[in-house]
Every structure is written in structure tokens, then in C-alpha cells.
Structure 1
């Protein structure tokens, strides 16, 4: 039996797939530039990657296909109409690749992007499954507004046709999507990363839409905000991502080097409580967690910005490096050696921010920085909704501000952004909305 192993990036909400071809060789579909999971799975299974296929020009991460080609000699496959400017094998609709017993067949499925393809994995005449990228995903279809405003509706109509085509496969056909829960490419929440054609026909609201117009209305109505780097990474992937720098270590920097680094951004990756207890003034709080890369790209819009970091000893510098690199941030200058204690020891100022428990927060002062869809499902009465990504340009009334999110990480980032704008009376609510309601006995407000 063919083994298809999903390798999930929980932060980006995506899955790549390692396909065991049965003879020690493997195919990888939609690999990220961060190949650590691919390498670990291939080594564990005794496999050598000989091919890398991308379903589309990704907007949310840099493809690992060029790295696999340069490092492992893998053949790269992609849509023939994608205009990729690096060595690859372009596939048109219906083209097939002989994988040595198995066959990969390209199906044109435009919608999420104009050049999107799905791949059917075949064993003779039998369809083993479909790699659907950002076309048919669990419970939805991926967004169509990443190319241009003018193309959003035409691509949504193309997405309708693509889903209808995929729905023509047998009901028991496994569906292996790239985008999943947690992706800003419009995947709904949920634990399942894979599905079947039959299940989606029975439960996916978009496949149950009565006609194309209803499909388009539903799809476009589900679109939320997304990080600005989504608008440039597809072109980087079309040109071919540069090979990442060698090594995965952060150079030690003195307090003086950090202080004098013109144009650099100092990112504090420690947990909220550590940042709150003492941090370098004007540093950007972004806790190292699965979503680290998304918020780094959202809040540091220029990937050429030199980056420096503050971390705890138990936080893995390799994780910081690869999270940054997978979205194209390669100018990693180093880390503050000795952390905030070393900074303070040189006589430099240290800033703090109060942390509030649920019972201590005035809802009228709360700025809820969750996504609008999260806010709508339940929020503190009188709280103001400003998504974290929009906070740098938002206008706030004078007076104290309490930032909140779900677990404290985004709220701490928000506090750091407000500090940089000169706000001095900022606190972080460590409780989420449901915990606040439980502690205070008050009901949450819901927005339709």
C-alpha cells in the first residue's frame, strides 16, 4: 500500500506530503523552504526525495522545491502556465509523470491562483488520491483575492469549476489539501487535515452551493484579512527562492551592538510574562510559537530588514531562524547575548508592562486584537475590535489601554506596538474572552 505522510506546519496551517514510492524513493508535494520535517520523515522511513511538485505559486511560504533540486537533485514539477523562471518540468492539464510504478497526473484547477493544478496519484487506472493544494480543502476552498482585486471574482468563478471537477472523482477518493485550519488562505477551523471527495460533497458548504453565483457569494463573503507578505511571495516563488544561507545559528551581539544597529528590528521572542517583567524599550514582542512566522511577516513588512532577537536560554535558535527563513527573512543579524539582564547591566533602560487578570480589566478600555471572525463569536461588552495587523495604523482614544487576545501572545505584541507609538498607560489582559466571562460572571457580546 502506498504511504502518503502529511507533514503539518501548524503555524501556517499547511500540510506538505511525503509520498513513499515503494522503492526507497519519495515524492514531496508542496514542500516549504524549511525542510526539517521532510528530512526527518525521509530519514525515519529510509527514503530519498527524487521529485518535488508544487500545486501553485505559494503566497504564504517560500517553496522548498528549488532547495530540494539543488541539494538532493530532485526534479521539480509545476504548472506549465506558472511562468516559473528556474529549471523545472512544466505540466499541462492531463500531463502525466511516471514515478516508477505510480503515476502523477496534473489537473488544471485554477481559482486559488490562476495557474493552480491538482495532482492525481494513480496506480494504473486506479486513483489513489488527489493533492488539491488550495482548491478543494477540508470544509471550504482557498481564497481567490491574492492576485488582484480585479481578479478576485473571476478566480472565484474558476474555483467553482475546479471544485466541480474534483467532485467528479469517486466519493472514496482521498483528498490531500495543502491549506488547512489555521491558514490565512481561508481554511475554516477544525482538526482534520485530510478528507475524501464524498465527505466534502456531503458537508462542504461550497460544494453544496446551488449554483455558481451562490458559490461566489459564499466564498467571497468568507474572506478575512491576510498578511501583506502574501502579495509578494508568489512572485518570489515564480522566480525561484534563493537558497537559504548556510548554518542555523544566531551570532551573539553585545548591548552596544544592539543599541547601534541602524535600521534593525529587535524581536523579543520570550513568553508574555518574561517580556512584561522587563524588556528592551521599543522591541517587538512576538512569542516564539507556531504562529511566529506569520506575525513576523505581518508586522515587519520589509524582508530585507536586519533582525536581531532576544530569547530565553531554553528557546531554540534554530526554530527562530527557520520560521523566519520560510517566509524569506534571511537578514538575521544575531541575538542579544545574555538577554535583558546583560542589557540592563550596561546601564540601559528596561521597560515593563502590567499583566491583568480577568477580574481587573475595565472592558471599556479593552482593545481586542483577535481577527474579526474571532471577535464576532464572543467578546467583552464595550471592547474595541482592532485586528493586530491593523494596530500600527489605528487611532485610539486617549487614556489607558488594555490589550487582549485569546491567550496573551498577540495582546503582548499589541502592547509592544503601542509602546513604540508612545502609549505609556498600556496593560495586557492575560485572560481570553471565555475565561473573562467565567471569572466575572458576565455574558459575552456576539456580533452578527
Structure 2
């Protein structure tokens, strides 16, 4: 069919750090690879090209998002392609090593590449005998390989050794061959930072430190050393993807709630999530509300910090996109969305609802407060304020008592720090302030150069 780069459309989810792919098969139909449940971008791309999604392939049982394959099967009668070893319970073509699927001119060949998960497949795209590229999912990714600890610590090393063999196998493909991974920079599936989302086999032989490891043991040590924490919702979604997400009959909606309904929801054990920018939350918010600003990373922190079993109500600000809020929640399996506060904080105040504020300061206003850094471990060790205490945001609810009294709570810019402050406030800590900015701003204002390493880090 004369396949070119224009036939492959990467669809990047910046928040989760993942790429899905839409492949124009040249006959009015398309292949979707690792599509998320939030299909808005994929559908828009298909509509622009006049394409119908005929095939939806998943490289593995995703832990970080719900697959959109079942929905595509329902809406477009797409044929779902996935690993036989995944034992999915919904209709699909179950593939194993070497199986091939005719896409209507092009061919998709399954390559067993376990490691990130037991049942992981890579998909080699061919035009006749010509290899066009390989979808590697969470196996070979740009300058790394995806994490192997999602099935528990007792399986981590075993899967790391499987990942070693999978990467070595992929490295035997031609050097010129494009590599189209799913996980990329920003993914908690252990992708390193960097702008590149795709690569080639030859480039990875030159730049991927895991492929440069001289032995299997060295590979395992290198891979495991790079594993940080990951959102707790990751432990739930693989099974949800095995049974298949609920098919949606239309876009999910977010009803309007009055102040009385919000108060009742809180009394009944629900949660209020304030998605306004951090500066607006600081100026005044509902007591016990959790601040998670609506941005690309909203889903990650929603899934890390709150259960999916309790009803959630939201406080939004002017001009915020409710569709974005809902889809970010739904793509990670959060469907108990009670609604959002009708009229926002103005309506809450008009209803005589209690309001609390959080102190927000710039780097030159911090005084002598002890510094609490809530960034990820790798960020902290790369450079932090001397003497800073360190508790990752995802761990903070369980370690609130260890936060320094009168702390200056800080992250990279301020959003996660405000989330952290709201967690501490829910635990009764009201003596804190939030830094608007990050460690570099603090260092400049106080004349204290940043240090690296683990000095003063909470382990």
C-alpha cells in the first residue's frame, strides 16, 4: 500500500505519559493500538482522515488506564486483538507467539515479549514480507523498559529476567525498524524523561542503557534500581481490563449539586475534590476538600489519593472543562461522580457554608519555616533544599504526623504542594504554608544552593 509515516498517527496522553496509535490501513479502515477509554482524540483523528476503526489491539493488560478496545468493539464493530495468555472475558481474537492477523493488506504479527506483564505482546506491522515497525507497548521503550513490579514484589525479579530476554529478542530486529512504544516520558511505568516518543531498533542499541548491560544480572540490577513508586490505582486496573470496562452509551455527565447536597455527601463519607487552580483553592475552599488542580496529571493524583468506591463531588472554577474532568476520571475507572457544585464557591458562601484558606507564599516570604518537599524520590535526589524533609505526595496521608510543624510545603511549581497541604489539613494540620514555586526559586531567594543525593530524605 506504500506505507509512509503519514499512515501512523501517534496520540499522546501527556498526563499519563502514554502513546496510543491510529494506523491508516489505506482502505478507509484503521487499526488502533493501546487506545484508552477516553477515545475523544482518537475519534477526532479518525474522523479527519475519514477512517473507521476496524481493529483495536492491546499490547498488554494495562495498569494505568482502562482500555478503549471494548468500546471500539461495541461502537464500530472493531475486532479486538489481544494476548491469549491474558484470558480476557470479552469477545476478542486471542493471539499467541507468531500468530498473524490480516488487516486488509497489511499484516500484524504477534511477538511474545513478557516482562512488563506476563501476557505482554509486541506487534510487528508488515506489508507483505516488508517489516514496517513494531508496537512494543511496555517492553522496549525509549531508552528503557517498563517496570516489572506491578504483579507484586515476589514476581519482580522473575519478570525483570523475562524483560531482559524480550528486549534482547527485539534487538535482533533490523536497525532501521521504527519502534512505537506505549509508555513514554511522564509514565509511572518507569519511562525516563525526554521528549522522544518513538525510536528505532538501531537508536536503542546505541542509547538504551538496558541494552548495553553486559549480563542478565546487570540488566536486572539496572532496571530495578530505576523503579520508583506508582499510583495505588495501578493495582486494580489490570483485572478491570481483563474483564473489560463497562460499555458507555454516551459521554458521561457531571450533574449539578447544591450546597446542601455537598454537605450531605461529606457527612455520608464522600469526598469533595477542588479542581480549581492552586491559588484559588488557597484563597478559600470547603473544609476537608482535596485540592487536585485540573491539568494533564489530574487522573494520576485522583487515582493515587482517593478510593474509587466513594462518591466524589467537585468544585470547579470559571471556564474549566467538565468533559476533561469526567474523562480523566473515567479513563482510570472512577465512575462514582456525584456532580459538581452549582455556582462554585460563591454559591457555597451564599449558603453559609464554612470556608477555610491556606497560606500561599512566594520564596521571599517563607521566613524560617522547615521545608517539606513532596516531590518524587528521583526529583528530590536530583536537587533539593539543604535540610529539607521529604515525604512523597502519594505517601503523605499515611505519614501526616511526620510532617514538620509549621512546614513550608513545596514541590516543583506549587500544584502538588497545594494537594499536600489539603491532605495535611484533612489530618488536622493547619499551621503550614505552601510555596508558590519550587526549590530553585527558594534557593535563589535564600542564597542556599541546592544539594543532591538522599540527605534528609524520608525513606
Please tell me the TM-score bracket, short chain as reference: over 0.9
What residue in structure 1 maps to residue 225 of structure 2?
221
CA contact (8 A) 1:92 1:106 kept: yes
Compare 53-62 and 237-246 and name the one that shifted more.
237-246
What residue in structure 2 maps to residue 230 of structure 1?
234
Deviations along 1:51-93, one digit per CA (max 9) or x if unpaired, are 0000000000000000000111000000111111111000110
Structure-2 change in CA distance of 1:397 and 1:196 (3 Å): closer
CA drift at 1:402: 1.4
What residue in structure 2 maps to residue 247 of structure 1?
251
Aligned match of 2:274 in 265, 268, 273?
Answer: 268
Deviations along 1:355-390, one digit per CA (max 9) or x if unpaired, are 111122257611110000000011111111100000
| TM-score, structure 2 as length reference | 0.96
**Pair 1:338 & 2:337 matched:** no
CA drift at 1:399: 2.6
Aligned match of 2:56 in 30, 40, 52?
Answer: 52
Instruction: Give, in whole Å, the separation in 2 of the partners of 1:281 and 1:245.
Output: 36
Instruction: Give, in whole Å, the separation in 2 of the partners of 1:343 and 1:244.
Output: 32
Aligned match of 1:185 in 186, 189, 197?
Answer: 189
Instruction: Give, in whole Å, the separation in 2 of the partners of 1:187 and 1:181.
Output: 5
Instruction: Give, in whole Å, the separation in 1 of the partners of 2:15 and 2:451.
Output: 28
What residue in structure 1 maps to residue 308 of structure 2?
303
SS in 2 for 1:70: helix
CA contact (8 A) 2:369 2:406 kept: no
Compare 343-352 and 105-114 and name the one that shifted more.
343-352
Structure-2 change in CA distance of 1:397 and 1:161 (3 Å): closer
Instruction: Give, in whole Å, the separation in 2 of the partners of 1:87 and 1:210.
Output: 43
CA drift at 1:348: 1.5
SS in 1 for 2:402: coil
Could you tell me which runs of 5 or more consecutive residues in structure 1 were left unpaired when the two chains were aligned: none
CA contact (8 A) 1:31 1:54 kept: yes
1:173-212 aligned at under 5 Å gives the runs 173-212=177-216
Instruction: Give, in whole Å, the separation in 2 of the partners of 1:203 and 1:80.
Output: 33
What residue in structure 1 maps to residue 457 of structure 2?
none
Aligned match of 1:122 in 123, 126, 140?
Answer: 126
CA contact (8 A) 2:374 2:420 kept: yes
What residue in structure 1 maps to residue 93 of structure 2?
89
What residue in structure 2 maps to residue 150 of structure 1?
154
Instruction: Give, in whole Å, the separation in 1 of the partners of 2:445 and 2:248.
Output: 48
What residue in structure 1 maps to residue 262 of structure 2?
258
Instruction: Give, in whole Å, the separation in 2 of the partners of 1:275 and 1:8.
Output: 29
Aligned match of 1:6 in 1, 6, 10?
Answer: 10
What residue in structure 2 maps to residue 366 of structure 1?
371
What residue in structure 2 maps to residue 417 of structure 1?
423
Instruction: Give, in whole Å, the separation in 1 of the partners of 2:309 and 2:24.
Output: 38
Aligned match of 1:322 in 324, 327, 332?
Answer: 327
Structure-2 change in CA distance of 1:363 and 1:191 (3 Å): farther
**Pair 1:20 & 2:24 matched:** yes
Instruction: Give, in whole Å, the separation in 2 of the partners of 1:398 and 1:125.
Output: 63
Structure-2 change in CA distance of 1:383 and 1:241 (3 Å): same
Instruction: Give, in whole Å, the separation in 2 of the partners of 1:363 and 1:414.
Output: 20
SS in 1 for 2:86: coil
Instruction: Give, in whole Å, the separation in 2 of the partners of 1:51 and 1:216.
Output: 35
Instruction: Give, in whole Å, the separation in 2 of the partners of 1:36 and 1:162.
Output: 33
What residue in structure 2 maps to residue 294 of structure 1?
300
What residue in structure 1 maps to residue 440 of structure 2?
434
CA drift at 1:248: 3.4
Instruction: Give, in whole Å, the separation in 1 of the partners of 2:199 and 2:441.
Output: 33
Instruction: Give, in whole Å, the separation in 1 of the partners of 2:249 and 2:320.
Output: 21
SS in 2 for 1:81: helix
| TM-score, structure 1 as length reference | 0.98
Instruction: Give, in whole Å, the separation in 2 of the partners of 1:356 and 1:216.
Output: 44
SS in 1 for 2:134: strand
Instruction: Give, in whole Å, the separation in 2 of the partners of 1:14 and 1:418.
Output: 31
Deviations along 1:246-305, one digit per CA (max 9) or x if unpaired, are 3333211110010011121110000000000010110010000000000000000x2121
Aligned match of 1:352 in 352, 357, 367?
Answer: 357
RMSD, aligned CA? 1.1
CA contact (8 A) 2:372 2:403 kept: no
